[in-house]
Amino acid sequence: MTATKVNEKEMPGVITNCVKDSVSSIFNTIFGVVPDYCGDDETKDIGDGVVGIISFVGDSSWILMLALPKTSAETLAEKFCGFKVEYDSPDMGDVIGELANVMAGDIVARMGVEGVKVAMSLPTVLRGNNVEPFMPKGLPDKKMHYTMLGKDLMVKVAVAKPSDQLMGATPGT
């Protein structure tokens, strides 16, 4: 595996790069549009919306959050399914979970190519106002903002273990 030195304040580049490449590739394949990257902004929130969360364990331990404001979720869900999906319905959770799941599968493959072996969890989907899971203090995270089809979306990555356990742990564990 690739030995990656982790800076306490920054996400490992292999993670952010794989996530960015995956966002471009997966959204383009599903929706026919590459999302426009609007930069990182730790202070910007999504407000009322849906969040799909996937955990990764193995050579690195971190989480991926795909967060869509309400109107983005409604628009993208309809495009994804080919039929209208009510915001408050369980199907909306299925769609966002599925989107996060497909992205995560692509990320696992991309990280594998980079020599970082990780396994992914099933998606957890939350709905609410600026919903985010509690994470350990002092570990790096990054909020990446995008627009697509005139709608906002955010992808957040956050380290879930201290740096000495982050990269270079027993491969495949």
Partner 1 sequence: MSYDGKKVLVVDDSSVMRQIIKKNLKELGFADISDAEDGAQGLKKLGEVPYDLVVSDWNMPKMTGIEFLKAVRADGGMKGTNFIMVTSEADKAKIVEAVEAGVSQYIVKPFNANQLEEKIKAIFK
Distance (Å, whole) CA 1 – CA 165: 14
Return the residue matching tokens 């959770």.
93
Contact between 33 and partner 1 by CB under 8 A: the answer reads no
Q: Assess contact for 37 and 60: CB atoms under 8 A.
A: no
Q: Which amino acid is at 119?
A: A
For partner 1, the closer of residues 118 and 158 by Cβ is 118
Backbone angles phi, psi at 58, to 5 degrees: 135, -125
**2 binds partner 1, rule: CB under 8 A:** no
Q: Which is nearer to partner 1, 83 or 134 (CB)?
A: 83
Per-residue contact flags (x/-) with partner 1 for residues 57 to 86, judged by CB under 8 A: -----------------------xxxx-x-
Question: Residue 143 and residue 157: Cα distance in Å, rounded?
Answer: 7
List interacting residues with partner 1 (CB under 8 A). Answer: 26, 29-30, 80-83, 85, 90-91, 94-95, 97-98, 101-106, 108-109, 112, 120, 122
